[in-house]
Structure 1
Amino acid sequence: MAVTIAVTRERRDGETRTALTPDMVRKLTGMGVTVVVETGTGLGSSIPDTAYAEAGATVARDLKTALTGADILMKVRGPTASEISALRPGTVVVALLDAWRDKDTVQALSGAGVTSFAMEFVPRISRAQVMDALSSQANLAGYRAVIEAAAAYGRGFPMMMTAAGTVAAAKVFIMGAGVAGLQAIATARRLGAVVTATDVRPAAKEQVESLGAKFVAVEDEEFKAAETAGGYAKAMSDEYQAKQAALTASHIVKQDVVITTALIPGRPAPRLVTAAHVSSMKPGSVIVDLAVDNGGNVEGIKAGELATTANGVTLVGWTNMPGRIASDASSLYARNLVAFVALMLKDGILAVDLDDEILKAAAVTHGGAIVHEGVKG
């Protein structure tokens, strides 16, 4: 009997992306999979129901119908209580679960006997590159952050020489040179800005400079060892943070735009920009915080809001930045998701092998228990 994959509307506030696009429906049906899509699933990404139907999916009239008989539920963000209650024990759920923070959803999935996988836990190994949803979404977030900054900034980004005079190039400072930060650097450079960037990982220096930006950091012995085996930034000592803060303070006062992107897996976002930093910046300056969903890198910024401080600095706290470019974000995420789900499809049969290193790393719940060591407790 064919495996049935269901995709339902995203029910979390502000989520415009979808977990499956018509081209990926065609890929799944070509693998012998039955695809059921709840009506309205793709509207936030400008995908009508007819596009899914033409690609070979069945369009279900409501949630209950979509989930009846589903073997796998594919989502962007974690399912809601109404979705979990409609799942049979043993159903597989694959999504960006935000498992470190959303303990209630994890507990509900475990209690329902659902096998769940968090796309944010896909390991950074060569075999899993095509499944790396964090990177695909961060790329778009970095790009969109610069576009949002340019929209909020009351001046041009490139230097422009005219008969009436010269417009100076914007000075843009990117804090955090991971996937999002590097894309922000590249985008700001393409728009003609003078770009500087900082990161606590020594490998980032060469990457930043290869994109034409200047690297700014305290490069001491701690800095040289500030990277995990998985390529993530380590938490730094108070002494290092104080030195870096002093350097940041002297640099940020000269900037027109600051974009922060720093995240540490499993922990709140580190505070990089203080209220004092913000108050030192020129009127008309802009700060965009890509870590606002996880507590924020910028003191005083509020999730989901755009505000102007007393000294005229615009704080951009938009959440879900990839969702502001939903069509492309959905396309990339769907490819990540289908590549991941394909690991569980063997000759048209659902076969979840938790000894597979990718599935094992991403598994959160299975058999009525929480199985991910980093999420337990």
Structure 2
Amino acid sequence: MAATPPPIETEALIIGAGPAGLFLAFQLGLQEVACHLVDVLPEPGGQCAALYPDKPIYDLPGLPVCSGRELAERLLQQLRPFNPPLHLGQLVSSVQRQPDGRWLVRSNGQNNGPNNIQAWLAPTVFIAAGVGAFVPRKETLPELEPFEHRTPAQVCYHDLPPEAALATAKHIVVHGGDAAAVELALELAQESAQHATHSRITLLHRSERLQIEPPLQAALDRALAAQTLQLVLGQPVGLVCGADADPAGAALQALLLDTPGGGQATLPCDLLLPRLGLSPKLGPLADWGLALQRKLLPVDSATMATAEPGLYAVGDINHYPGKRKLIVCAFHEATLAAFAAAAQLRPGQRQLLQYTTTSPRLQQLLGVGGVGGR
């Protein structure tokens, strides 16, 4: 087993890389507070990017219409001058105060394996976890869980296995019916055709009704017609396993399916990639020992501070009188939290309200120049 790496020390740690967390990192940058961000998802953007990347948002200041994906891209572009480290695919498992007053935050990684464990040590921690960690919806077959932890894994909910393992898989099944599932299946089918890996790529869904837009449906139809990809209808209800040299046990060979109309079928599968959507769960957050009220963290509306010194909460996870669960409100909360944290970290330093239009210091931090007025 690999040794646990020492904690990463930083002034601030943001748990959650959604819109609130990304804008908070920007505001901390303007306060010259170094931060890291950690998120369970494999890409930044949180709920907006994961659940409705292509749906329009109409209530952002100055942007009459903006998709969830575009919002994440714009926030990342805005954040680029500060370039804070992003730790993605990391599920935070514990938040503990240390004797010196700092917070030790531990993550088990997305696969909960020993090689994915990471820890951070920071005097300020910001929970920007929305309504909880967005985790993949699991297959209903508990028998599949051991195959997540094989080396290489035969069931992967987030990332793909190593390239070498992917190239040797003969029967790759992508399970799901939304855009993420179809896009992944098409990508794998194209790579298989280009590199002549002879892998059989299957898109598995319970029915022919897929939750995708017409352009993606057209691309899927072309792949099906070209026979680079097959669509199988059914729901996994069992497994077929065979002997394997791996000491961990027998390998996954096939899925047993219940098919529409009451039939049954066997689908060859030595690599299963479930893409069944995401669901928000408080998960370990509920076990962190924090004073949750109705699954929310009460905060001071002036600072977004919780009852625990050095611990702040912004976005949908917090609550205070007059709270509104809107993205624009989360941006306001992130600004107040950043100012409060800067005051906590530098108690003897006077805080000046400066504007990016006129402040040479802020413009230098942003790497821009110009003359403005206010």
TM exceeding 0.5:
no
TM-score scaled by length of structure 1: 0.27
Larger Rg: 2
Q: Which has the higher helix share?
A: 1
